[in-house]
Amino acid sequence: GDGARVPVLIIGTGYGGSVAALRLAQAGVDVHMIEMGMAWDTPGSDGKIFAHTTSPDGRSYWLRTKTKQPLSNFLGFPIDKAIPRYTGILDAEEMGGIIVYQGRGVGGGSLVNGGMAVTPKRENFGAVLPSVDAGEMYSTYYPRANAGLGVSTIDPAWFDSVDCYQYSRVGRKHAQRSGFPFLFVPGVYDWDYMKQEAAGTVPKSAVAGEILYGNNYGKKSLQKTYIAKAAATGKVTISPLHKVTSVSPASGSGYTVVIEQLNTSGTTTATKTVTADKVFFAAGSVGTSKLLVKLKATGALPHLNGEIGKGWGDNGNVMCGRANHMWDATGKVQSSIPTAGIDNWAAGGAFAEVAPLPTGIETYASFYLSITKNPNRAAFSWNATAGKVELNWQTAWKQPSIDAAKTIFDKINAKEGTIYRTDLFGTYKIWGDHLTYHPLGGAVLNKATDNYGRLHGHPGLYVIDGSLIPGNTSVNPFVTITALAERNIEKIIATDV
């Protein structure tokens, strides 16, 4: 409550925040978590917690009056529609030159993401986090993260037989015919539950196409893993619909944290002040970067260093679709959980997920989200006149990502005699180069912080989320965010608590 003093306050309940909460609580520390999004633990009037992918409503978007779907068009028609303004689950945040999609609510990105839980190849790790000992990561912290997240791989025999992965098998056939390595990617969906969905014996979630606006069943989001374990210690409290707006040194010791309570229209209904001995920034790459850049520029945290806000990247995300021949139907029913990818990282700088297009009709489309080796990095800065933080990313900076993705899909198109879809992102637009699902960086490890996430200049402040990673993980990022958080919190508990 207002005026309280707490030992540890964590800003955000995504991967970094949840790892910190669990390990601190297990070490006997009382933890308070602040989350700007909703709790997502209560069904709406339709009996479901989350809205369906094809019938978005207020629950689907963070404070928008119209949906902002990653695929804006289909067969030439715009598909966005009016919705009530509400503190919904998916934030399509328009920064300079890029739309950054993020999860909002207890569980952060785990509420909306595809659950692909990929550990980078060890030979690529040095470029991901150059100051971190790879040996320790691969022997201790990646295994710990995978166990904590409940990661497993699909049963390949079931994959080969089931209708809802026909799209993925077509993706495999085309990749292999062009000579590309094709691999299963592990995930956090409960595969046994999905088998029952496909058999029609339980309520459907992935097989019904649920993903972007939450999965009502089957997905092991952080609510079911790290956060459930943290709550079971009895030492963790969570305040949803509370947004941190300021952190500054308190008189005496610790930090004064200013928190706004929101209603579901996004209006501030109360402002509270809490004092915390230690504060962990786990608001995600964009959330943490925006807070730190503002607090440094406005003098609330004057001793933060010049690296704050720098080193931001989009993990090279770029999307595209291919138009298949009639004999390569991808299926009316598509599981929303991608489970396979095309690895051309070493030769072409691209790792492409074979993604679903769960429209409920046969589209004859193959759809892909590529993660690419894009060297461009942006910076956040404080615009004092506008009173907000801005990002200097340029849309043209996606060109290296497009070039990398083309090393896969130009070749497949040539081999198959097929073409790119031009109707998914506008009219005659091939590349989905306007967005990212994987914001990374802004408070880079060993630059803005020490090698364990302690912010320079202000003892007792830590960063423990995707903002530590300088812009690219070569694969989907949440396993690396989780493993790095496991590594850092172990050190912080041993030496600072």
Which 409-438 residues touch ligand FAD, going by CB under 6 A?
A: 437-438
Contact with ligand FAD (CB under 6 A) among 58, 114, 171, 331: 114
Q: Does 109 bind ligand FAD (CB under 6 A)?
A: yes
Residue 172 belongs to what H/E stretch?
Answer: helix 166-177
Taking the least distance from each CB to ligand FAD, the nearer of 162 and 282 is: 282
Among 337, 369, 320, residue whose Cα is nearest residue 475: 369
Residue 307 DSSP one-character state:
T
Euclidean distance between CA atoms 233 and 429, whole angstroms: 51
Binding flag, residue 235, ligand FAD (CB under 6 A):
no
Q: In the bound complex, what is the minimum distance in angstroms from residue 222's beta carbon to ligand FAD?
A: 8
Q: Are 58 and 68 in contact (CB under 8 A)?
A: no
Per rule CB under 6 A, is residue 15 in the interface with ligand FAD? Answer: yes
Binding mask 310-339 for ligand FAD (x = CB under 6 A): ------------------------------
Q: Is 35 a catalytic residue?
A: no
Tell me the C-alpha distance between 261 and 394, whole Å: 34
242 as an active site residue: the answer is: no
Binding mask 128-167 toward ligand FAD (x if CB under 6 A, else -) reads: ----------------------------------------
CB of 462 to ligand FAD, least distance (A): 13
Give me the catalytic one of 438, 458, 486, 490.
Answer: 438
Helix and strand totals (H; E) in the chain: 12, 20
The neighbour count for residue 165, using CB atoms within 10 Å, is: 27
Residues 240-259 that bind ligand FAD (CB under 6 A): 243-244
Which two three-digit tokens encode residue 364? 């004859």
First-to-final CA distance of the chain:
23
Q: Which of 496, 486, 487 is nearest to 461 (CA)?
A: 496
The string of DSSP codes covering 14-40 is: SHHHHHHHHHHHHTT--EEEE-SS---
* 287 sits near ligand FAD (criterion: CB under 6 A): yes
Number of residues that bind ligand FAD (CB under 6 A): 39
Q: Which of these segments, 13-21, 137-145, 176-184, 192-200, binds ligand FAD (CB under 6 A)?
A: 13-21
On whether the CB atoms of residues 269 and 262 are closer than 8 A, the answer is yes
From 53, 72, 87, 102, residue interacting with ligand FAD (rule: CB under 6 A): 102
* Angstrom distance (rounded) from CA 298 to CA 300: 6
Q: Which of 353, 416, 486, 490 is catalytic?
A: 353
Q: Is 478 in the site for ligand FAD (CB under 6 A)?
A: yes
Q: What is the DSSP string of 99-125?
A: EEEEE-STTGGGGTS--B--PPPHHHH
Using CB under 6 A as the binding rule, whether residue 470 contacts ligand FAD is answered as no
Does position 380 interact with ligand FAD (CB under 6 A)? The reply is no
Residues tagged active-site: 353, 438
Residues of this chain that interact with ligand FAD (CB under 6 A) are: 11-16, 34-37, 101-105, 108-109, 112-116, 212, 243-244, 282-285, 287, 291, 437-438, 465-466, 476-478, 481
